[in-house]
Amino acid sequence: MTQPSSARGQGAAEDVDLPTQYRPADVEGRLYERWVSAGLFTADPGRDPGRPAYSIVIPPPNVTGSLHMGHALDHSIQDTLVRRRRMQGHEVLWVPGMDHAGIATQNVVERELAKEGLSRHDLGREAFIERVWKWKGEFGGRILGQMRRLGDSVDWTREAFTMDERRARAVRTIFKRLFDDGLIHRAERIINWCPRCLTALSDIEVEHADREGELISIRYGSGEDEIVVATTRAETMLGDTAVAVHPADERYAHLVGRDIELPLTGRRITVVADEHVDPAFGTGAVKVTPAHDPNDFEIGRRHGLPSLAVMDERGVITAPGPFEGLDRFEARPAVVAALREQGRIVKEIRPYEHSVGHCQRCSTVVEPRVSLQWFVKVEPLARAAGDAVRDGRVAIHPPEMAARYFEWVDNMHDWCISRQLWWGHRIPVWYGPDGEVACPGPDEEPPAGWTQDTDVLDTWFSSALWPFSTLGWPDETPELKRFYPTSVLVTGYDILFFWVARMMMFGLYAMDGVEPFTTIALHGMVRDQHGKKMSKSFGNVVDPLDWIDRYGADATRFTVLRGANPGGDVPVAEDWAQGSRNFCNKLWNATRFALINGAHVRGEVPAELSTVDAWVLSRLNAVIAEVDAQLESYDFAKACETLYHFAWDEVCDWYVELAKVQLADERAESTRRVLGEVLDKLLRLLHPVVPFVTEELWTSLTGAETIVTASWPAADPGRADRDAEALLESLQRLVTEVRRFRADQGLKPGQKVAAALEWGSSPLAPHEEGVRALLRLTAPGDGFAATASLPAEGVTVRLDTAGAIDVAAERKRLEKDLAAARKEADQARRKLGNQAFMAKAPEAVVAKNRDRLGRAEADIDRLEAQLTALPAR
């Protein structure tokens, strides 16, 4: 932004500390450490009880994790919320922490051991756990430092870990309560099993992907007992204990209750009738393998079928016979070959695409397996979680996501909480020598000589306690009293079912029916600019740390927030990050210009203002109200767009340019104060989104210590000035029309052109100097001869473009536009002159066509006048 020659006039600043360019790397680390050391992010539950409390618990990232674009989005949203509430005077607590990530962390340490030629079994359980804690201390938690780089204003004095002492006590406490209430039990059920990690998996730890396979049709039985079934997993037929058909399927009514031969095994199995079977799918008959399929397991329970496991924990066939000892994927073609040899293959269909579950940690195909596990009986807990949303105690944003929430909690199955790992909260159950079971509380000792269960709890069990275990539960702490329930949970919609629902269940249960948060704000997934999922295999993964290095944390945050429409996926692209960096630079340059020209925030804004100053304050007031409403509804994308366009378009491109004229005349001091007022409030509005650049600029402008605890701007209806807004809108249209003419003629934006302005009775006349400055128009001198005339907004702009304008090209352009305007007017007149149309069309449609005609006629008048004013050929 150029400095006018009069910039150093009376009232201008003698010195400006801001460098000529904004370099994020010179600012961000320094400011963040200053904020933390000053305790600006530290909450005090005993401070000013009259202040409203606002709290958020961060979705704990894995101890093995590092910052990715999903984190950048999630944390930027949360930081925007807490920074704004802090400025609004709330007592704010944003709790940081990490999840111990059972499977992921154990895998990492086991890989390190493998490099030494060791396994965890070589070390033994206690030594292995010590090794994991050592790894956590040396390498875990890298993401916490990365959160600092992003600018997270969390309370580092309350950092939590799902396996620290306080959280461990909370886990023992709630397990004991659930156990004593009969809501935790041990049973043989079918679960997701990873043959590589050798543990049960939760649903969220299973990633499904469509895979190409073969659907093979096999003939069971013979003669009148013959029945054909289809399967993609031929090896599991070794464990079949029935064939199921629909009760109403007349094709198989004669077979229900009869035994038929199961090929390759020498066994006979029963045909059962079950409503689960879809008679229209395939042959209408399905094989039933209760030990290796969840649907078959339920059929088996309904019909009292035996459950025959034919694989061990590593996916190796254990059924006696020729396939014993083969891996499941080796056994599949071997079984098919044997069936083909016996003439049992009816047909093979290739390819057959179907969904296959994979372990999230190691990508091994998951095997459904019957296993003795610990479960939470979720039915009463899930019902309470559903009721809390239905009765309005908890709001979900966007509201349409509530249907997905209800679909999950209303149909939730018992939750398998045991994992066959060593790293995690060990299940607090002990077994006696005669099979006795004891579950002592956290302050009780287990019976002497009894043996503790070897499994650990699902990671989601401990993270389900996060909203209250981080506040000190089960103890009655000041934090728990002041900050529970938490204000809002911010997370991706992809874990609505798995983590959010579990927190709701445990929060309501542990806290006597009080919900863990009052609002659930869901955001989408970060995708590339084409809407494609980010994946290493696609080569489109973006590292937010790379963007922070090159463009700054503010630009990275602004980029993801600008795409954060409620519940929708968030596209990002590098050129958008570059644009966000340019936006930060624009703010820097505008503020530096203002400081050089003496802008300040001392004293009250003058009562008597120029129209330009009144306009910008009116627009500022409107923007404050808009941004408030947008942030309250979690519409971060709209809030960013509102702030971006106000800052760039209205403040920098219009107000600052018009202010340059006023800074050189008797209005200078008033304009300095207004310019300071606008930047003061604009920077405060922007601070939650782009905290670093706004801190550096605002403290330079105001002389205050920090913007972090500055008051949030409040809308002032008394500043609304519709007349000033209407006048400046007219001025903008005038300038835009002339600029368009200049661009059409190939005139450079900075090229000066002599012009005469005929104002007539236009209210814009007092702004001639500003219009000339914006349009680079010089006053007519000797020999001035207008070569073009543009009527716009009641003003005639006569320009001397001799030697700078292509008259023939301009005439051609105007004639083309005139023809289009006449066509538009003719179409509107025909409709308005059509009696049938006028009789049937709604009034709104008729009014729309009248407006269309009026605009077209105005365009015709303007274009004809411009053609008339052009020099002759």
Determine whether the annotation assigns residue 681 to a binding site.
no
- Decide: helix, strand or coil at residue 391: coil
Interatomic CA distance for residues 146 and 70, integer angstroms = 13
Residue from 869, 793, 799, 860 nearest 825 by CA: 860
Give the CB-side neighbour count of residue 32, counting CA atoms within 13 A: 21
User: Cα–Cα distances in Å, from 669 out to 357, 604, 662, 665?
Assistant: 70, 12, 9, 9
Interatomic CA distance for residues 380 and 391, integer angstroms = 16
How many of the other CB atoms lie within 10 Å of CB of 49? 9
| Orientation angle between helical segments 501-510 and 379-390, nearest 10 degrees | 100
Task: Read off the DSSP letter of residue 237.
Answer: G
Interatomic CA distance for residues 260 and 374, integer angstroms = 36
Whether 377 contacts 181, CB under 8 Å: no
Interatomic CA distance for residues 398 and 568, integer angstroms = 9
Whether 634 contacts 566, CB under 8 Å: yes
Residues 6+ positions from 840 with CB-CB distance below 8 Å: none
Whether 382 contacts 409, CB under 8 Å: yes
Residue from 405, 456, 402, 451 nearest 427 by CA: 456
Q: Tell whether omega for the bond before 474 is within 30 degrees of 0, i.e. cis.
A: yes
Whether 238 contacts 288, CB under 8 Å: no
User: Cα–Cα distances in Å, from 242 out to 221, 239, 733, 856?
Assistant: 12, 9, 79, 78
Q: Tell whether omega for the bond before 351 is within 30 degrees of 0, i.e. cis.
A: yes
Whether 98 contacts 61, CB under 8 Å: yes
Interatomic CA distance for residues 218 and 226, integer angstroms = 10
Query: Can you say which residues are annotated as belonging to the binding site?
Result: 536
Query: Can you say which residues are annotated as belonging to the binding site for ATP?
Result: 536
